[in-house]
Amino acid sequence: MLFSNLAVTYSKLEATTSKKGLISILASLFENSTKEEIGKVVYLIRGKIGPDYETLDFGIGEKMMEQSIIECSGRSLAEVRSRYKSLGDLGLVAETFLKERARKRIIRLEDMSSGLEVSEVFEELKKIAKVSGEGSQDKKIKMMGRLISRLSPLEARYVVRIPLGRLRLGVGEPTIMDALSVVVVGDVSGRRAIERAYNVCSDLGLVASVLFRDGLEGLENIRIEPGKPVKPALAMRAASVEEILDRLGRCAVEGKYDGFRCQVHVIENEVKIFSRNMEETTSMFPDLVEGVKKQISAKSAILDAEAISYDAVLEHFSPFQITMRRKRKYGIEEAKLAHPLKLFVFDLLYVNGKEIVMERNEERFRILERIYKEDEVVKLVDRIVTGDKDEFRKWFELMVSRGLEGVIAKDLDAPYTLGERKYSWIKLKRSYRGKLEDTIDVVIVGYLKGRGRRVRQGLGAILTAVYNDEKDTFDTVGKVGSGLTEKGMAELREELDRIAVDEKPVRVNSKTEPDVWVEPMYVITVIADEITKSPNYTAGAEDGETGYSLRFPRVIGYIREDKNAEDATTVKEILDLYKMQKRAKLK
């Protein structure tokens, strides 16, 4: 397939506002892709050059891209920045300069195509991303400039956006999976099988390649493999001990730590650590790597765990914001000394060449105990097994008194549900007492400019949304204007301006109009007094019904770098929280 065909598809997707339209456009593109290139096409639709866990970072920011555009266009830095200021998008800047060059050569724009294949552009982008070492910045600038100069104006628009992470197509993974299903099955009924395979390997390009080669049946051959992260299991919420025991009966009850999720892979003498959003973070946590090597006796294993900073002087767990200081690419040794981590392991998915996700929870934990050796860094999660509500409640209160968020109850007979939120895991946090005392992860979809005292920060409030996993949309749930310092608000405004867009993004479902729309990329944690019904917001609103909103929300922490937008709290969770709140008030 010519890359020009992909560029035309990009432009169609960018101009489309309905999910059905997006699926139709993608299905048409996929139908015209060969089984050899479909994986690359899927990566490029996501603005990637591989699965998320491969951590191939382009390492190209705006300033470097400006230099690449200078390299290919012969324009001055002043000209590039002037156009960037007026157009707000370096992709459009490159496109404009190439159009002007074509007109001087009397080339018809509609006839323009680089003649490059999708695979050629893909491999060229991969080469650029892999450049490292001394002088790598200059090499990347020159290579990117040469690539842009070979492209048509429309192709250049999107190739420039890919390394900057600003493709802006409004296409999520569920929409891509629906389109793949339409091509292979004729409708979206194959989506479930595609999603199951994706949950196993976290590589949508691989899933597409296997699907095109071997059909839906072939997806069953995609297996868990150490070194490739799987989608983690997720927990539902409950408001009381009684509610949990009514659902599960006798169950495991584990402490819930307020840290960050880690998926730890042991491969012979190597250890790899992945975040919840599939990013490899091994280099950030040398202390955890050494702890796992020392304390886990298995040739191969995949562990599900939570890392949390522990203050040995005060003998308590650190707040989440302190723990998150360990997630950094520089100053790792200093951070390790300042904020030592404990790794609490609570599940085992794979051991010594065998996938065990279908084993009962109780059996998986027994196997975990057998390969674990007690020491300082790696700990097994605090856990009891009970069906007695008084024992459950005492354990819950003990966990809270130790500074934990609460507990997670687990069905002893349940398998590990990859990428799914089910009642086989149920979390119980501090008592609601008629108030919302749970945190909510919201996606920022826009902001209102600062007024009065906030003019200087340029940010008055952020418009937030939760994820509708059935429709693959972000449905608004409220404006948040408190919880951040003046400095924090100014910094957030800078971050949001980098992803600002002229119109409401396709996947955002909103009745409220902010001053500035942004791409739904950043997740931020908030807490609110309660959830109320509101006609102004779309979360939970069906067919014109009233939606739900957060009352007196405030930010706690900052942007959650460990979460993608699709990892935010879901609409269903908001509805569940609202029902819990009502039950608590009645009591």
Which sequence positions are flagged as catalytic? 256
In order, the DSSP letters of 30-82 are HHTS-TTTHHHHHHHHTT-SS-GGG-------HHHHHHHHHHHH---HHHHHH
Cα separation, 21 vs 16, in Å, equals: 6
Cα separation, 467 vs 362, in Å, equals: 32
Cα separation, 392 vs 377, in Å, equals: 27
Output the six-digit token pair for 110: 């509609």
- The terminus-to-terminus CA distance of the chain in angstroms comes to 63
Cα separation, 376 vs 390, in Å, equals: 31
Place of tokens 């200093």: 334
Cα separation, 349 vs 326, in Å, equals: 26
Q: Rounded to 5 degrees, what are φ and ψ at 350? A: -155, 140
Cα separation, 129 vs 122, in Å, equals: 11
Cα separation, 415 vs 49, in Å, equals: 33
Query: Between β-strands 270-274 and 251-256, what pairing exists: parallel, antiparallel or unpaired?
Result: unpaired
How far is residue 351 from each of residues 182, 198, 265, 359, measured CA to CA in Å?
36, 21, 10, 12
Cα separation, 16 vs 22, in Å, equals: 7
How far is residue 554 from each of residues 58, 178, 434, 511, 528, measured CA to CA in Å?
35, 36, 18, 21, 6
Cα separation, 415 vs 579, in Å, equals: 28
Are residues 527 and 442 in contact, defined by beta-carbon separation less than 8 angstroms?
Answer: no
* Closest of 478, 486, 485 to residue 457, by C-alpha: 486
* SS3 category, 516: strand
